[in-house]
Amino acid sequence: MQEAALAIAILALLLALAARIRTASHASRLDDLEQDLQRHTRNLSAETEQALALQRRMLAKLALGEELDVEMIEEGRLWKEVTGPQALTLVQQNGAHVLDVRTPQETAGGYAEGAILIPIEELEARARELPHDGKPVVIYCAAGVRSAAACDYLSSKGHDGLHNLAGGFPAWTGSHAKS
């Protein structure tokens, strides 16, 4: 009889231990879920603030009489797409700066004369090299994808007057330089 009671007590102890382990596991998982939820909430809050800041900048530009085309509004961007001739006109008539975000290997084959050469991978660290004189900036890469990303990045950091050269460097109609 005592052996049966001891066996039942040991079994009860094992069941209690298993329940304790399971509870601890659930508590740990619940803590992980709570941390994930908090991180997700912070991320959503930051994204909402960024979107709101963009909308405010767009409204301010409209209030100042600046033109925003339908694509800019629908895509939520503050930079414009330009063709090669439009980019050249911006440089010749408005004194626009030109930014080449291609790699050094790409620019070795030629670049727009007078362009600032900052590879896209270095843009965050070197963005302070861009002039802040209110003049437009024409940005190009090899095809227009990296330069669009550069426009997005610079726009998010408060830069205005950004123009992405559609078609990239091959679309540039101005003079070329070689390093």
Tell me the C-alpha distance between 127 and 14, whole Å.
Answer: 63
Nearest residue to 77 via CA among 172, 166, 163: 163
Grade residue 12 by pLDDT with cuts at 50, 70 and 90.
confident
Q: Are residues 62 and 84 in the same domain?
A: no
Q: What pLDDT is stored for residue 56 in this prediction?
A: 93
Range of the structural domain that residue 28 is part of: 1-66
pLDDT tens, position by position, 52-72: 999 999 999 999 999 899 999
Whether residue 72 is contained in a domain is answered as no
pLDDT at 9: 84
Using DSSP, state whether 82 is helix, strand or coil.
Answer: strand
Same domain for 87 and 54: no
Instruction: Write down the pLDDT at residue 16.
Output: 85
Which pLDDT does position 7 carry in this prediction?
83
Residues 91 and 61 grouped into a single domain: no
- Quick check: 42 pLDDT over 80? yes
Number of domains in the chain: 2
Query: Could you tell me what percent of the chain has a pLDDT over 70?
Result: 100
159 and 109 in one domain? yes
Q: Answer yes or no: do 51 and 8 share one domain.
A: yes
- Cα distance between residue 159 and residue 97, in whole Å: 13
83 located within any domain: yes
- Tell me the C-alpha distance between 140 and 164, whole Å: 6
Residue 142, judged by CB atoms within 10 A of its CB (0-12, 13-18, 19+), counts as middle
Last residue of a domain, one of 66, 86, 115: 66
Rank 27-36, 93-102, 152-161 by mean pLDDT and report only the highest.
93-102
Residues 9 and 46 in one domain: yes
Residues 89 and 59 in one domain: no
Domain boundary among 66, 90, 120: 66
| pLDDT reading at 165 higher than 90 | yes
**pLDDT score of 32:** 87
For β-strands 162-165 and 137-140, DSSP reports them as parallel
Contact 148, 121 (CB under 8 A): no
Question: Rounded to two decimals, what is the model's pTM?
Answer: 0.75
Q: For 114-145, what is each residue's pLDDT tens digit?
A: 999 999 999 999 999 999 899 999 999 999 99
Last residue of a domain, one of 41, 66, 91: 66
- Residues 52, 103 within the same domain: no
